[in-house]
Amino acid sequence: MWRAIFERMAASINNRSFILHICVSILEAFYRNISGVYTIDFPDQPPLIFDYTNIKNSFDQNLLMTPKSTSLKRLRFNSTFQIVLQNTTLIGIENHPLHLHGVNFYVLAQGIGNYDAATTTSSFNLVNPQERNTLGVPVCEWAVFRFKANNPGKLILVII
């Protein structure tokens, strides 16, 4: 059974797919100091950069079969955190909603194609950005949002 789970294609962020531990919750492991449930080595950037909007990449096994882990990113309380979501053309070509539990975020920018920080950062809306808790990112598009990590506990990013 475990082999089937690890060989199954799944959604990913930074080329990693989340797998939930079956016996202990992340929050319980954190408060009870239980090791082996999760790691805190989630990458800041995707380790593999490619043309996210090129449909020819749809059947590249190196892109589809991402490592599965319970890998987290530790955020300092009250710090501001920015996330760039890039929707791809891999297999399931559809819009993907994003929802953060327990926190609202500000949408700084959205665009079509591959996100490029060098050309986009100057156009961020830092004056009156939309405040949301759910955002749809269409196929071949991207979105940049920020939030303040001021909700104690574990924040889980949900992409459906």
On whether the CB atoms of residues 15 and 48 are closer than 8 A, the answer is: yes
Q: Which of 24-33, 51-60, 120-129, 149-158 has the lowest average pLDDT?
A: 149-158
| Three-state SS letters, 62-124 | HHHCCCEECECCCCCCCCEEEEEEECCCCCCCCCEEEEECCCCEEEEEEEECCCCHHHHHHHC
On whether the CB atoms of residues 91 and 64 are closer than 8 A, the answer is: yes
Mean pLDDT of 121-139: 92
User: For residue 5, which phi and psi values (nearest 5 degrees)?
Assistant: -65, -45
Q: Per residue in 58-111, pLDDT tens?
A: 777 666 667 677 877 778 888 899 988 888 766 666 777 888 877 899 999 999
